């Protein structure tokens, strides 16, 4: 062969990136009987079909081997690390020895594909692919030569849809290979199949999914199927490419755990090697008589056959009734169970629930598993994960309410009227700070408005200021179990990052510590302002809220009363009077509290020209005329509100103003009674001794009804207006003291609490809606919902060390604040099914909208608008290496206190449940007596103070499910530890409730963690299919919370 030595030498000296492969190999020639001349280390560079041999990386090439008409065999003496090149020309064989088995295999693949014959086959394969694409595009190209009118009439390309059942996946199939050929002889294959889709309209190859790895067989039965959801654009013309890879080392298979462009093929030397591929049209599978295809797998050059692959059509609704023996025998060494992948939620609650659920759930991912039961039957498990639009909708609604509430409060402070200089300066300072906070809320709402259509906040964004109100990584995790002999069961868990103010940080702890410290400091503010207890400030906000709610209602009903009088309608007059009386009585009752009286006195002393006097000793509740219940609390007697007093103030004036409302209402009632009596000719008896008549200045028993009622209604409105003015000012003065005593810490704590509550509420609303949809046909659950309320159980996995202790403190307060949230179910009047939030801080009502057909399924009490109570409880057990540090060198008191407090709340709910609900309302496979034992067991485990006692979480979760509660699982980001916990819970349920075969528990657990929804969650968050653990961290984890090999490593979190 003729060649130019200078050109070859120049080629050998090119930069490293110009070569297909390079590295150190020991090389020598092989003489007869496989005797070797002493191998010498050489630096080898492969370029095309030329192998350059050099003494070292910087030296000249000493030899060039042309890789034509040669083949590769193993060297029997060292089969793992060496190969031999044999030449047809009869030249001596070339022995090559690598440093490791992996390196040897990658060199074998590279050298085997280097000859010109392989290149020609690749070219032919590419030509065939180009011809196929040209044929498919020919109709599109022809359109260019048609008149425009004909082109318009053609419209979009028409493709043949696949016939399917409504809301069921369009296409599902399972896969198996036979007689696979390894790249090197006697190698045990560890194979998986990558599934890609060629869309007929775009002609772009898109990676869709992959199977699990089946180890140690040339006939792998893949227990992972492929599912295309209802909305996926797949047609009979769609082509599906199946590519088989041999994985050398699962821990090094980085391509399966990372993101690559769809068009880029992985290199063979990074954990796996290409075996073969094949392509089929969807129509061929769907229309085949046996609903099965047997395809030939070929190498990338399209020439060599490396085995066959079977594609079997799967019908979702059919459960396999056969025994599992034929599967387990063939696949006894295979490591995973059946997993089908899709991206759609299943309409478990029926077609009617789909519109309202689709308004809440977005971008769903679904996997389908098949596991054997203890009696060798198959059960099918559908695992689903979906993000929710509520992640952004609820915080935006909440911030909007905060803005309105704060604007109203600022206006009430300005409407306090003239104050003494000290108090006026205080008011100006408070309003200035409040305006700054208001501006911040408005800016945040504007920023969130830019995220139109968003439904997910990744773990990497938890420190972003503009997204601090948004929950982290909020998802629904659902498991639907279809067993041969048991009723279908549904298990839901809401996964979300711990509600916490990450942007503000945890240098000084979380809300639990900060609120306690702030309250202690506020008690010692001296004479700058008046101290009101948190209970009294909360009462002041409630009074203001009642005023703003009731005053317009009373005015409206008073106008309706006059309207009924003008129409001379007795029935309408009675109804209007009844509504007016009810609302006015509520209005009057709102001001019975002693706080209003004492606040009016405090405000009087703050007016100009009135000297501020404070008593030497604060008066206790008895001296202030408080309710008897205050006297039962020694802590309140020791330290009461420091209320100023003045000798010239007429304390009875408020009583007179307040009583005038009731007297005015009595006048209206008496007049209506007189008018109705006179109108009733059959009844001439008149109430001459009506006690309420003495309070009325004038009675007119004749003439027009309207004229006689009008002055009395105007008097009622005037009296009510006087009460409102005074009450509003007095309560605003109480709020002024609260703010002034703690500026600016008070507002910053309010902001932090709003942030944490916003994250917690978004998750709660999602959980309630999902639970309501799942239980619409469960009359026992619906009765429990309006009779007792809904248990909401949070499982925390945070440590009590460093920053996570602050997160846990935030989370505990945020979840506790959910007790003040009430739900109401209403009938949707439009196609917008998103929930409506009303109310104020510390008292919110969430209105959940249902379509008419679903709304009719509800009990009458719920349909009439009964408010539904929530009972949130939190149990936390740290499981990571930081918790190990906390247990040995730190403090776990925070975790112990939280668990103990919430155990008492759980016992209270159970007591209420047993008092109001019959035993048959529990799920069918559970017994009433189980709960007592579980609660006692939980109590003992909490008292034991055992390190990393994860049994606390298992028991709490089981009790929650038995009590029809909503389950939450939280860690810092709801990504890694949460995934371990959720998958363990799912497999434990399958074992304990659905007879999962004991030998398949670990396999099922590894399968869900390796191929299930949670690894997809990791990918969504950090763009990498690896849990963010390392080996040292996992040594500190409880045994069943450790992921399988190859699924963890370095990843940003």
Catalytic (active-site) positions: 971
Residue 530 burial (C-beta neighbours within 10 Å; 0-12, 13-18, 19+) = buried
Cα 208 from Cα 224, distance rounded (Å): 13
User: Which residues lie below 8 Å from residue 876, measured CB to CB, with a gap of 6+?
Assistant: 795, 796, 797, 798, 808, 811, 895, 898, 899
List the beta bridge partners of residue 52: 45, 64
User: Residue 23 forms beta bridges with which residues?
Assistant: 44
Among 885, 901, 887, 962, smallest CA distance to 929 is for 962
Residue 413, CB-side half-sphere exposure with 13 Å CA sphere: 27
What is the Rg, in whole angstroms, of the alpha carbon atoms belonging to the chain? Answer: 38
Among the listed residues 146, 134, 157, 1, the one whose alpha carbon sits nearest the alpha carbon of residue 66: 1
Q: Which two tokens stand for residue 798?
A: 């945070």
Structural contact between residues 327 and 371, judged by C-beta atoms closer than 8 angstroms: no
CA distance 42 to 64: 12
Output the DSSP codes for 742-786: TTTHHHHHHHHHHHHHHHHHHHHHHHHHHHHHHTTT-HHHHHHHH
Strands 378-388 and 361-372, how do they pair? antiparallel
Secondary element (H or E) of residue 908: helix 893-916
Q: For 222, what's the count of Cα atoms within 13 Å in the CB-facing half-sphere?
A: 29
Calculate the CA 110 to chain-centre distance: 46
Where b means 16+ CB within 10 Å and e means fewer, 349-364 reads: beebbbebbebbbbeb
Cα–Cα distances in angstroms (integers) from residue 575 to residues 558, 561, 572, 679, 886, in the given order: 11, 8, 5, 16, 65
Cα separation values, 258 from 433, 456, 588, 1020, 1049, Å: 48, 20, 66, 11, 12
- How crowded is residue 524: how many other Cβ atoms within 10 Å of its Cβ? 8
How many residues in total does the chain contain? 1053
Spell 206-239 as b/e; 16+ CB within 10 A means b. ebbbbbbbbbebebbbbbbbbbbbbebebbbbbb
Q: Which residue has the tokens 């992985």?
A: 266
Q: Are 342 and 228 in contact (CB under 8 A)?
A: yes
Task: For 990-1020, give the secondary structure using H, E and C.
Answer: HHHHHCECHHHHHHHHHHHHHHCHHHHHHHH
Contacts of 402 (CB under 8 A, 6+ apart): 441, 754, 841
Contacts of 120 (CB under 8 A, 6+ apart): 301
Beta-carbon neighbour count of residue 793 at 10 Å?
25
- The SS3 assignment for 336 reads coil
d(CA 395, CA 389): 11
């Amino acid at each position: 062969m003729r060649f130019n030595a200078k050109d070859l030498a120049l080629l050998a000296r090119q930069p490293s990136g110009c070569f297909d492969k390079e590295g150190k190999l020991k090389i020598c020639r092989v003489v007869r009987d496989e005797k070797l001349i002493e191998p010498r280390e050489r630096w080898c560079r492969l370029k095309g079909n030329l192998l350059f041999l050099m003494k070292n990386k910087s030296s000249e090439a000493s030899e060039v081997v042309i890789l034509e008409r040669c083949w590769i065999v193993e060297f029997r003496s060292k089969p793992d690390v060496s190969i031999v090149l044999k030449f047809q020309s009869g030249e001596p064989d070339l022995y090559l020895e690598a440093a490791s088995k992996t390196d040897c295999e990658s060199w074998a693949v590279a050298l085997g594909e280097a000859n010109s014959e392989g290149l020609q086959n690749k070219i032919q394969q590419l030509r065939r692919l180009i011809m196929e694409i040209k044929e498919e595009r020919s109709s599109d190209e022809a359109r260019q030569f048609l008149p425009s009118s004909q082109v318009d009439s053609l419209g979009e390309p028409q493709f043949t849809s696949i016939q399917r059942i409504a809301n069921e996946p369009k296409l599902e199939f399972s896969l198996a290979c036979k007689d696979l050929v390894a790249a090197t002889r006697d190698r045990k294959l560890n194979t998986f199949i990558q599934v890609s889709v060629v869309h007929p309209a775009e002609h772009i190859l898109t990676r869709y999914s992959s199977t699990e790895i089946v180890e140690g067989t040339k006939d792998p039965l893949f227990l992972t199927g492929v599912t295309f959801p209802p909305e996926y654009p797949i047609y009979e013309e769609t082509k599906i490419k199946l590519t088989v890879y041999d994985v050398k080392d699962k821990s090094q298979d980085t391509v399966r755990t990372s993101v690559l462009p769809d068009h880029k093929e992985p290199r063979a030397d990074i954990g796996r090697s290409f075996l073969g591929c094949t392509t089929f049209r969807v129509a061929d599978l769907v229309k085949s008589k046996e609903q099965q295809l047997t395809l030939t797998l070929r190498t990338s050059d399209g020439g060599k056959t490396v085995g066959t692959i079977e594609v079997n059509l799967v019908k979702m609704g059919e459960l396999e009734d056969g025994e599992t023996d034929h599967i387990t025998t063939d696949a006894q060494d295979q490591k995973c169970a059946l997993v089908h992948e899709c991206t759609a939620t299943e309409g478990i609650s029926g077609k009617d629930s789909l519109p309202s659920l689709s308004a809440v759930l977005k971008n769903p991912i679904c996997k389908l598993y098949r596991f054997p039961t203890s009696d060798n039957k198959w059960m099918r498990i559908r695992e689903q994960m979906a993000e929710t639009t509520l992640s952004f909708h609820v915080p935006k609604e909440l911030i909007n309410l905060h803005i309105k509430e704060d604007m109203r409060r600022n206006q009430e402070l300005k409407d306090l009227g003239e104050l003494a200089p000290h108090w006026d300066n205080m008011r100006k300072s408070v309003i200035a700070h409040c305006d700054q906070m208001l501006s911040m809320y408005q800016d945040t709402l504007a920023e969130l408005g830019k995220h139109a259509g968003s439904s997910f906040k990744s773990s990497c964004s938890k420190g972003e200021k503009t997204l601090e109100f948004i929950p982290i990584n909020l998802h629904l995790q659902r498991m639907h179990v279809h067993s041969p002999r048991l009723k279908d069961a549904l298990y839901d868990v809401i996964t979300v990052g711990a509600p916490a103010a990450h942007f503000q940080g945890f240098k000084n702890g979380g809300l639990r510590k900060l609120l306690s410290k702030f309250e202690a400091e506020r008690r010692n503010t001296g004479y700058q302002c008046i101290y009101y207890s948190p209970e009294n400030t909360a009462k002041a906000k409630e009074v203001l809220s009642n005023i703003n709610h009731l005053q317009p209602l009373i005015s409206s009903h008073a106008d309706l009363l006059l309207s009924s009088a003008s129409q001379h309608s007795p029935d309408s007059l009675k109804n209007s009077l009844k509504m007016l009386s009810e609302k006015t009585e509520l209005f009057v009752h709102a001001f019975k509290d002693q706080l209003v009286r004492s606040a009016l006195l405090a405000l009087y002393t703050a007016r100009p020209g009135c000297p501020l006097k404070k008593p030497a000793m604060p008066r206790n509740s008895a001296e202030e005329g408080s309710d008897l219940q205050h006297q039962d609390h020694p802590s309140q007697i020791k330290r009461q509100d420091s209320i100023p007093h003045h000798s010239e103030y007429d304390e009875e004036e408020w009583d007179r103003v307040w009583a005038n409302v009731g007297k005015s209402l009595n006048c209206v009632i008496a007049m209506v009674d007189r008018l109705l009596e006179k109108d009733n000719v059959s009844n001439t008896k008149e109430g001459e001794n009506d006690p309420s008549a003495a309070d009325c200045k004038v009675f007119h028993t004749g003439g027009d009804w309207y004229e006689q009622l009008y002055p009395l209604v105007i008097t009622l409105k005037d009296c009510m207006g006087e009460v409102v003015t005074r009450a509003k000012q007095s309560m605003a003065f109480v709020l002024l003291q609260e703010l002034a005593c703690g500026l600016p810490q008070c507002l910053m704590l309010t902001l932090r609490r709003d942030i944490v509550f916003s994250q917690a509420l978004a998750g709660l609303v999602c959980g309630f809606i999902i639970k309501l949809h799942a239980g619409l046909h469960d009359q026992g659950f619906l009765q429990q919902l309006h009779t007792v309320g809904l248990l909401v159980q949070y499982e925390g996995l945070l440590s009590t060390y460093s920053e996570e202790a602050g997160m846990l403190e935030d989370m505990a307060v945020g979840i506790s604040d959910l007790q003040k949230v009430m739900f109401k179910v209403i009938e949707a009047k439009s196609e917008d099914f998103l929930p409506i939030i009303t109310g104020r801080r510390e008292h919110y009502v969430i209105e959940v909208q249902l379509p008419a057909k679903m709304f009719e399924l509800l009990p009458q009490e719920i349909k009439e608008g009964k408010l539904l109570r929530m009972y949130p409880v939190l149990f936390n057990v740290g499981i990571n290496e930081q918790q190990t540090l906390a247990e040995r060198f730190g403090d776990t008191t925070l975790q112990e206190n939280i668990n103990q407090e919430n155990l008492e709340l759980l016992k209270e709910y159970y007591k209420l449940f047993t008092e109001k609900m019959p035993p048959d309302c529990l799920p069918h496979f559970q017994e009433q007596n189980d709960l007592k034992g579980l609660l006692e067991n939980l109590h003992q485990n909490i008292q034991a103070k055992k390190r990393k006692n994860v049994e606390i979480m298992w028991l709490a979760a089981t009790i929650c499910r038995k009590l029809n509660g909503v389950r939450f699982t939280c860690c810092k980001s709801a990504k890694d530890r949460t995934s371990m916990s959720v998958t363990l819970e799912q497999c434990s349920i399958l074992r304990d409730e659905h007879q999962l075969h004991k030998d398949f528990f670990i396999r099922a657990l590894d399968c869900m963690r390796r191929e299930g929804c949670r690894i997809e969650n990791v990918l969504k968050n950090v763009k990498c299919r690896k849990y963010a653990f390392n080996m040292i961290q996992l040594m500190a984890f409880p045994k069943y919370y450790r992921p399988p090999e190859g699924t963890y490593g370095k990843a940003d979190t």
